[in-house]
């Protein structure tokens, strides 16, 4: 409104400047009448402009009132809309929670059914595995170790580490002699007498392998030498003693050979063993750091028949052997005597702690480099501080399986 009045005043001033006659024309009556008429016209125009402005102001005031009323209604509607949206969101959230709960119940029922099914499958699998183990270890051997009966030092050498043995199955009297914890040369003696008396004829036969062995875990089984191939973590070589050729080879699974088997035998990563049930490997495994694993091997095909994780630890251990499918682990403190069997593991679960006597070896100055059981003559062949030793054992029958 103020802008319109300013524009009208400016228009009037311009009009006066443009249409007023010069001073010399003021004495002319006609001119005065003319000017008066012009002023009347101008005055009427100003009155109309004033009335139009007042009408405009009134209309604007009415418009402002209407706008204010509409804004008030909009605020009311907005509040109502927000409240309705909030209530709707709460209802949606409540409905979602109910849907989630129903879904949880459905999944819980499904999980319960799945768990029941899994449990049933596990029970069936355990029953089948137990049946398989009993079939696998079904040899007519039900003895358990009760004591170390006697000690006989067969021979003495200057070598701290080594291994010696006979064929664990055949009736061959030959003795095999491995010096050190690694190498590719070993000796075959005609019998135990030839082994004890170096001068006895015939002289020992020197055998040279195309691969070197590592550790002291070699075994002779059915005319074949089985040994851990040096430079590999888990390769087992099957060597034909008669043909002097490599017959076959295999890789032990489950992380075998990545850690020492025994703390006090720092060169042995895989210890092979033979008992009444056949050929075994004793080694470490993944996920059970510091614990021993026993693996049953089919000697003909070098296939893995089964593996068992045992509770026996490698810490303070120096050697172990199997007798009638049971693992016996020998421990000593700091690598020195007394040498005792502190851990026994039976895959069939027929030996309990109450059945076990205190099992000690005759005191020796150092830890054993190897202890291997020979199921043919029921004796333990051992190596301790350069001494080749035979231990005789006492056994008794296990409790029958229920």
- 105 and 178 in a common domain: no
Three-class HEC string of the chain: CHHHHHHHHHHHHHHHHHHCCCHHHCCCHHHHHHHHHHHHHHHHHHHHHHHHHHHHHHHHHHHHHHHHHHHHHHHHHHHHHHHHHHHHHHHHHHHHHHHHHHHHHHHHHHHHHHHHHHHHHHHHHHHHHHHHHHHHCCCCCCEEEEEEEEEEEEEECCCCCEEEEECCCCCCCCEEEEECCEEEEEEEECCHHHHHCCCCCCCCEEEEEEEEEECCCCEEECCEEEEEECCCCCEEEEEECCCCEEEEEEECCCCCCCCCCCCCCCCCCCEEEEECCEEEEEEECCCCCCEEEEEEEECCCCEEEEEEEEEEECCCEEEEEEECCEEEEEEEECCEEEEEEEEEECCCCCCCHHHCCCEECCCCCCCEEEEEEECCCCEEEEEECCEEEEEEEEEEECCCCC
Domain assignment present for 137: no
Domain assignment present for 18: no
Domain assignment present for 130: no
- 166 and 65 in a common domain: no
Among 111, 129, 155, where does a domain finish?
111
Domain assignment present for 20: no
Q: What is the pLDDT of residues 44-64, one digit of tens each?
A: 888 888 888 888 888 888 888
Look at the chain and report how many structural domains it folds into: 2
- 216 and 106 in a common domain: no
* CATH number of the domain enclosing 173: 2.115.10
pLDDT at 17: 46
Predicted TM-score (pTM) above 0.75: no
Q: What is the pLDDT along the chain (402 residues), one digit of tens a residue?
A: 544 545 555 555 555 544 555 555 555 777 777 877 887 888 888 888 888 888 888 888 888 888 888 888 787 777 777 777 777 777 777 777 777 777 777 776 666 666 666 776 766 666 566 666 766 776 668 889 999 988 899 999 989 999 999 999 988 999 999 999 999 999 999 999 999 987 667 889 999 999 999 999 999 999 999 999 999 999 999 999 999 999 999 999 878 888 999 999 989 999 999 999 999 999 987 755 689 999 999 999 999 999 999 999 999 999 999 999 999 999 998 777 789 999 999 998 888 767 788 899 987 878 899 999 999 999 999 999 999 999 999 998 877 655
Domain assignment present for 117: no
- 183 and 250 in a common domain: yes
- 164 and 105 in a common domain: no
- 243 and 343 in a common domain: yes
Domain assignment present for 165: yes
Q: What is the pLDDT of residues 348-392, one digit of tens each?
A: 888 876 778 889 998 787 889 999 999 999 999 999 999 999 999
- 392 and 319 in a common domain: yes
- 157 and 100 in a common domain: no
pLDDT at 317: 94
Q: Domain range spanning residue 325?
A: 143-397
- 362 and 252 in a common domain: yes
- 238 and 150 in a common domain: yes
Domain assignment present for 282: yes
Domain assignment present for 23: no
- 79 and 210 in a common domain: no
pLDDT at 3: 47
- 102 and 234 in a common domain: no
Among 94, 111, 128, where does a domain finish?
111
């Amino acid at each position: 409104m103020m802008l319109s009045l300013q524009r009208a005043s400016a228009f009037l001033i311009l009009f006066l400047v443009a249409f007023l006659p010069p001073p010399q024309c003021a004495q002319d009556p006609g001119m005065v009448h003319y000017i008066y008429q012009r002023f009347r016209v101008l005055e009427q125009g100003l009155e109309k402009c004033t009335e139009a402005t007042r009408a405009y102001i009134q209309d604007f005031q009415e418009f402002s009132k209407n706008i204010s009323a509409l804004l008030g209604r909009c605020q009311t509607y907005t509040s109502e809309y927000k409240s309705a949206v909030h209530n709707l969101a709460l209802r949606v959230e409540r409905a979602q929670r109910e849907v989630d709960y129903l879904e949880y119940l459905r999944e819980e029922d499904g999980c319960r059914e799945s768990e029941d099914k899994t449990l049933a499958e596990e029970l069936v699998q355990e029953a089948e595995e137990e049946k398989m183990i009993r079939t696998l270890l079904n040899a007519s051997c039900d003895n358990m170790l009760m004591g170390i009966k006697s000690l006989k030092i067969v021979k003495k050498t200057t070598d701290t580490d080594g291994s010696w043995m006979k064929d664990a199955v055949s009736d061959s009297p030959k003795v095999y002699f491995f010096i050190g914890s690694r190498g590719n040369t070993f000796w075959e003696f005609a019998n135990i007498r030839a082994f004890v008396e170096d001068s006895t004829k015939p002289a020992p036969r020197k055998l040279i392998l195309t691969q070197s062995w590592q550790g002291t875990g070699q075994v002779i089984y059915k005319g074949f030498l089985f040994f851990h191939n040096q430079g590999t973590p888990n390769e087992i070589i099957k060597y034909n003693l008669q043909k002097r050729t490599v017959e076959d080879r295999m890789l032990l699974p489950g992380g075998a050979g990545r850690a020492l088997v025994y703390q006090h035998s720092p060169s042995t990563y895989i210890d092979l063993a033979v008992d009444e049930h056949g050929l075994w490997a004793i080694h470490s495994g993944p996920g059970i750091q510091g614990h021993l694993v026993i693996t049953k091997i089919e000697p003909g095909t070098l296939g893995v028949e089964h593996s068992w994780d045992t509770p026996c630890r490698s810490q303070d251990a120096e050697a172990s052997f199997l007798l009638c499918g049971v693992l016996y682990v020998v421990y000593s403190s700091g690598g020195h005597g007394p040498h005792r069997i502190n851990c026994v593991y039976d895959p069939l679960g027929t030996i309990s702690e109450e059945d076990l006597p205190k099992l000690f070896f005759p005191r020796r100055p150092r830890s054993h480099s190897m202890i291997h059981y020979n199921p043919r003559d029921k004796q333990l062949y051992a190596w301790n501080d350069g001494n080749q030793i035979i231990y005789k054992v006492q056994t008794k029958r296990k409790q029958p399986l229920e």
